[in-house]
Structure 1
Amino acid sequence: MATKPGLLTDWPWKPLGSFKYIILAPWAMHSFYSLATKGKNELDFTNLLILPFLLSRALHNQIWISISRHRTAQGKNRIVDRGIEFEQVDRESNWDDQILLTGILSYVISSTVSATSTLPAWRTDGAVITALLHAGPVEYLYYWLHRALHHHYLYSRYHSHHHSSIVTEPISSVIHPFAEHIAYFLLFAIPLLGTLFNGTASLASLFGYITYIDLMNNMGHCNFEFIPKWPFSIFPPLKYFMYTPSFHSLHHTQFRSNYSLFMPLYDYIHGTTDKSTDALYESSLERRPESPDVVHLTHLTTPESVFHLPVGFASFASRPQESKWSTCFMWPLSWLSVMLSVIYDGTFLVERNLLGKLKLQTWTVPRYSIQYALKWQGQGINTLIEEAIIEADVRGSKVISLGLLNQSEELNRSGGIFIERYPKLKTKVVDGSSLAVAIVLNSIPKGTTEILFRGALSKLAFAIVSALSHHGIQVATFYETEMLKLSATTEEGEVVVSKSYTQNVWIVGDGLSKDEQLKAPKGTLFIPFSHFPPKKARDDALYCHTPSMIAPPSLRNLHSCENWLPRRAMSAARVAGILHALEGWDVHECGASVFDVDKIWEAAIRHGFRPTTISK
């Protein structure tokens, strides 16, 4: 929102929320009706192409943002080092509003201007006139409109909303108040209406011109430079007719320079070109990919999680992953990604963060949870994890943390097999089990003397029970077999079989059923130690999040959620990897080894990490 919102700031269909697309329904239905009832020679191809064109624009923008996020995470050719946050993602979540506006105006023009119904596919004279009208009136008028928008009166009421994004993403280009978009549409209508009224318009010139605007807008708002030097070397005047991402990036960091739309010519004519334009372009091109200090290795979970990645749908990734009706329409692509993941043979970078001088990256194994459960997939998955560990070691990373099922005991003995294979590994491998134990212990209400333990037995389960016994808390279980196995790991205290299920605190892992949850008394606190949260069967009980902590405010560029965790929450394994690097602990925490629980908890609190709240 602008600092002092002016008239027509909000979009007219804002009250409709996610149902805003319904405003195009009457127009689209009319087009389909015409297609079904009219003969081939009577069809209005301009009208019929509007809806497919709008969908192609949305896809075009999505491709740009995915590529941009991946490249800026790598660090190669990055322009501005600052990151984006959840506030920016929320502010830019309505980037498709301008596509809806284009659709409405296109349908109106198609219905009122008879010339649109008989347009040819191509006319050379129309394409030339469109280019000339853009280079002349559109670019020049935009330059002065843009300068006017930086006057304090208009800036505070309108344009400051766009400039809230210091570090831009491709979709930042279309984040403006409604009134500002109207002004831009009037400008961009000059070539479109001009060629329509002089009879030189074509389908290619109309749809091609809007595609050109999208292309240049997206390109200019990327936070990485990719325009090579050789076009400017071959034709030096090109610098006046085509801008680059670094050129426009300076406008967002310096504010009072580089006002041009796509052609820097008018900035050079009027002396508003930033003095550091050429230097920033050169330095951005020469910038190499970053080497992370800490790598967190995760993997895909549900088929829909491919869209939840930071390089996927921005607004979707900024909220805890949950089942939504809209994702049902994406299942063909979701399952196609599952099929393709079988042949993808390398991890990929999805996110970068900064904590002080510590450079953090998240890498993803292109495999889904269901594939981790298949024994015949185990060797291939372990190979991908092993290659990631070796790559982190080669790149000089201090720590690599194994997230979710990458630390499965059945798969690789909690990472232990990799330490055995590479005893001289400099990068420390961390599974976060000690911090997970600490989080579970500190989630138990003070004064608790007995808990009920239920879940699949594992390294983490044994460590938790041992720690509970050490703190004098009696552990009860459902089954006698569990009691015997858990008792063998405790040095003090006892493990008993529960018969009454009166415990108000349950520590649960994988395998907790709905029937078991129903045995708990009202108000029971369920504390999971599993990687994945239990399916909630009670509305009258409290459920903690899976072991995780809220990141300190100093951790930057955090704009996506870890699947089902709330904003700024990080899994225990991810936090543990960061703590090992911050503290300089030169030890592995994987396999059979467990780090000092009290020591890692104290370090987490000291570095600003905080426990997550109760899950709603």
Structure 2
Amino acid sequence: MAAPLSSWPWGNLGAYKYLLYGPLVTEALHSWVNGTSNDRCLHLLILCGLRGLVYHFRTSFSNMLFLTRTRRVITDGVDFKQIDREWDWDNFLILQALIGAIAFCFVPSLRGLPFWDFRGCIVALLLHVGVSEPLFYWVHRCYHTGYLFTNYHSLHHSSKVLRPFTAGFGTLLEHLMLGVVMGAPLRGAFLMGSGSISLMYGYILVFDSLRCMGYSNVEVFSHGLFEALPFLRYLIYTPTYHSLHHIEKNSNFCLFMPIYDVFGRTLNSKSWQLQKEISSGKSKQVPDFVFLAHVIDVISSMHAPFVSQSCGSEPFVTKLFMLPLWPLAFLVMLLMWAWSKTFLFTFYNLRGRLHQTWVVPRYGFQYFLPSAKSGINNQIELAILRADKMGVKVLSLAALNKNEALNGGGTLFVSKHPNLKVRVVHGNTLTAAVILNEIPKDVKEVFLTGATSKLGRAIALYLCRKKIRVMMLTLSTERFLKIQKEASPECQHYLVQVTKCQAAQSCKTWIVGKWLSPREQHWASSGTHFHQFVVPPIIGFRRDCTYWKLAAMRLPQDVQGLGTCEYTMERGVVHACHAGGVVHCLEGWSHHEVGAIAVDRIDVVWRAAMKHGLTPV
């Protein structure tokens, strides 16, 4: 049986919990329509909205790894388990809104309050320092004793990596006590007749901002500030200071002022030295592997974890709330285009090696603009040179970043910089392996579109070696004959050129490497299965056929710190070209994988992927 007040009354309501705001909304609308002076509920709703934004904005900042990478206190990433565990982090906002509504029942109206009263600020500050800080310190230490920690506070400490949402993650009893701590200065100021609107908003929002700052996992204070003004160390805590409490648990109990830890003899001796090391911003952690991705479109750009980590932790789908944000995302796209710097998107650890995703600030449609070709290649080249300088071992190119017409599948960069230490990989060898291993063993004939592309060529040559007839859709006889001559003489007759989809009416295995319109899909017979490697993937118009997603692989179970879904992929699943780079890194291969796919290496790469625990989806 759960301990009393350890769970939330609305814990099983899911998103319906927000209906609890209904009475406040109804009362606010009623007062506005009737022109009454009862504006208490309106202020409560505005405060809840602003407080939610404070937590979201601070979380977004914490997830901007391209800005915060060198100042992170705990370098691990937030994984899916922690994101799910903290999904209802905002329960305390509902609780405090309901408590505020009850408290305001004894206040006729807030319209009679002054907007500003300097005396109220002084009273609230004194009460915070003299009442709230020691009260929180004492209660917090009590929560670290046996029964209270086991039944209440251990849930809060179960989060390994701090983020602002972690500040709201706790039990009902904890937040009832926190409400008392936060409410004491406000209540005292109002009882003394020095309350004001600005005090109510200001104190609560500053309180939330300081909590978010402590949980941000990003050191924001310069150690030079504390060296110049040593007394500040005891008046304001730092993210490093608070992170030590979560790491070692029995020290640094204060709310915002470390001086109470000094009085209570619970100050962690490593607090200031560690803060100095982290605030210097000289992190030497270098990733072994980098996946160089790009944005697909404006809407999908909002799938980034620094926009919404909750949305980013699920496969991408266009949601209604995203549509009003489209103009803002479009503006960000223009700024990224102007800034033109590759930025760090996310990272995870696998087998003790740090893997990062960097993003080229270019959107999918820009890759098809002839005028953008040079600029895109310049950005990719700069990313490769940056990775080489840092000591990255493998850099894998995603989707359009390795387009044959753009840079020859990465050949351009390897040829231009022959002394690169970083290995440039397009990952398409594993992509081909995934597609080929999807095909049933008893298939005798396949229809292949995009047949003369890098992947199409490798798939065709591999299948003809297995004595499978391949109908290659291409209008270029010259390209077809060039590929056919690469096959051994006894296998060449398995490669057949076709120029129309009608030729595949009797074939039930289609491998799609070029976009197919609904009319072209119409020629497939009922029961046809569509494998594909075309970007973007084709739309499944045929209900009597089956459609496979883009080639992908599931990362091993021991991956750590992964909390972001790769576009529309499931959790823990990455595109095959991404997985190909991972395998290249784990195997320690010293060659570049650029240009044409080496057909002889398809089985080698597949076996290596299986050996390292990657599995097909």
Contact residue 77 and residue 560 of structure 2 kept, 8 A: yes
Q: Which residue of structure 2 aligns with residue 472 of structure 1?
A: 467
* SS of aligned partner of 2:290: strand
Contact residue 447 and residue 511 of structure 2 kept, 8 A: yes
Matches within 5 A, 1:448-467: 448-455=443-450, 457-467=452-462
What does the per-residue CA deviation read over 1:145-185, in whole Å, with 9 as the maximum and x for residues that have no partner? Answer: 22222233222322222111122112111111233222211
Q: Which residue of structure 1 aligns with residue 246 of structure 2?
A: 252
What does the per-residue CA deviation read over 1:480-512, in whole Å, with 9 as the maximum and x for residues that have no partner? Answer: 637885464132222365646343432223412
The count of aligned residue pairs is: 605
Matched, 1:609 2:606: no
Distance across 2 between alignment mates of 1:440 and 1:489 = 19
Distance across 1 between alignment mates of 2:9 and 2:545 = 42
Matched, 1:306 2:301: yes
Using the TM superposition, name which of 330-339 and 561-570 deviates more.
Answer: 330-339
What does the per-residue CA deviation read over 1:491-536, in whole Å, with 9 as the maximum and x for residues that have no partner? Answer: 2222365646343432223412334445545554332222433323
Matched, 1:236 2:240: no
* SS of aligned partner of 2:157: helix
Structure 1 residues without counterparts, runs of 5 or longer: none
Matched, 1:70 2:71: no
What does the per-residue CA deviation read over 1:417-459, in whole Å, with 9 as the maximum and x for residues that have no partner? Answer: 2223222222221111111111111111222222232347521
Deviation at 1:15, TM superposition (A): 4.3
Deviation at 1:374, TM superposition (A): 2.2
Q: CA RMSD in A?
A: 2.7
Instruction: Go from structure 1 to structure 2 and tell me whether the alpha carbon gap of 1:423 and 1:146 turns closer, same or farther (over 3 Å shift).
Output: same
* SS of aligned partner of 2:206: helix
Alignment partner for residue 558 of structure 1, among 536, 556, 562? 562
Distance across 2 between alignment mates of 1:19 and 1:487 = 63
Matches within 5 A, 1:561-576: 561-576=565-580
* SS of aligned partner of 2:475: helix
Using the TM superposition, name which of 265-274 and 63-72 deviates more.
Answer: 63-72
Contact residue 434 and residue 597 of structure 1 kept, 8 A: yes
Amino acid at match of 1:99: L
Distance across 2 between alignment mates of 1:97 and 1:176 = 9
Contact residue 460 and residue 495 of structure 2 kept, 8 A: no
Q: Which residue of structure 2 aligns with residue 223 of structure 1?
A: 217
Q: Which residue of structure 2 aligns with residue 587 of structure 1?
A: 591
Distance across 2 between alignment mates of 1:451 and 1:471 = 12
Instruction: Go from structure 1 to structure 2 and tell me whether the alpha carbon gap of 1:152 and 1:471 turns closer, same or farther (over 3 Å shift).
Output: farther
Q: Which residue of structure 2 aligns with residue 503 of structure 1?
A: 507
* SS of aligned partner of 1:128: helix
What TM-score comes out, normalization by structure 2 length? 0.90
Distance across 1 between alignment mates of 2:388 and 2:418 = 12
Instruction: Go from structure 1 to structure 2 and tell me whether the alpha carbon gap of 1:156 and 1:124 turns closer, same or farther (over 3 Å shift).
Output: same
What does the per-residue CA deviation read over 1:268-296, in whole Å, with 9 as the maximum and x for residues that have no partner? Answer: 22222233323322332345233322221
Matched, 1:359 2:354: yes
Q: Which residue of structure 2 aligns with residue 150 of structure 1?
A: 144
- Alignment identity in percent? 35
Distance across 1 between alignment mates of 2:38 and 2:384 = 58
Q: Which residue of structure 2 aligns with residue 441 of structure 1?
A: 436
Distance across 1 between alignment mates of 2:47 and 2:197 = 11
Distance across 2 between alignment mates of 1:173 and 1:199 = 32
Matches within 5 A, 1:291-330: 291-330=286-325
Structure 2 residues without counterparts, runs of 5 or longer: none
Q: Which residue of structure 1 aligns with residue 495 of structure 2?
A: 494
Instruction: Go from structure 1 to structure 2 and tell me whether the alpha carbon gap of 1:152 and 1:455 turns closer, same or farther (over 3 Å shift).
Output: farther
What does the per-residue CA deviation read over 1:101-151, in whole Å, with 9 as the maximum and x for residues that have no partner? Answer: 344444444454125332222111101111111112212121222222223
Distance across 2 between alignment mates of 1:120 and 1:337 = 39
* SS of aligned partner of 2:14: helix
* SS of aligned partner of 1:158: helix
Amino acid at match of 1:602: R
Matches within 5 A, 1:27-106: 27-28=24-25, 30-32=27-29, 34-35=31-32, 38=35, 48-71=42-65, 75-106=69-100
Amino acid at match of 2:245: H
Instruction: Go from structure 1 to structure 2 and tell me whether the alpha carbon gap of 1:343 and 1:9 turns closer, same or farther (over 3 Å shift).
Output: same
Alignment partner for residue 211 of structure 1, among 195, 205, 211? 205
Amino acid at match of 1:326: F
Deviation at 1:350, TM superposition (A): 1.2
Distance across 2 between alignment mates of 1:467 and 1:525 = 19
Q: Which residue of structure 2 aligns with residue 406 of structure 1?
A: 401
Deviation at 1:35, TM superposition (A): 4.5
